[in-house]
Amino acid sequence: MAGTTKEIAAEVGLSQPAIYHYVGSKSDLLREIALQVDRDLFAALESGIARSTNPAEQLRGIIEEYTAAVVRDRRVFAVFWQEGHSLPQEIQDRIREDQRDFITRVGKIVARLQRSKVLPPGPVAVMARAILSMPSWMYHWYLPEGQMTATEIADVYCRLIGLGERR
CA distances from 60 to 14, 17, 80, 148 (A): 31, 38, 25, 18
Decide whether 65 or 83 has the Cβ nearer to its own copies. 83
* 36: contact with its own copies by CB under 8 A: no
Tell me how far, at minimum, the Cβ of 162 lies from its own copies, in Å: 6
Contacts of 132 (CB under 8 A, 6+ apart): 66, 102, 103, 106
Tell me how far, at minimum, the Cβ of 124 lies from its own copies, in Å: 10
Q: Identify which of 167, 142, 164, 134 has the alpha carbon closest to the alpha carbon of residue 66.
A: 134
Q: Which region among 29-37, 44-52, 53-61, 117-125 touches its own copies (by CB under 8 A)?
A: 117-125
CA–CA dist 161, 119 (Å, integer): 7
The residues binding its own copies (CB under 8 A) are: 1-2, 81-83, 85-86, 119-123, 126-127, 129-131, 133-134, 136-138, 140-141, 148, 153, 155-157, 159-162
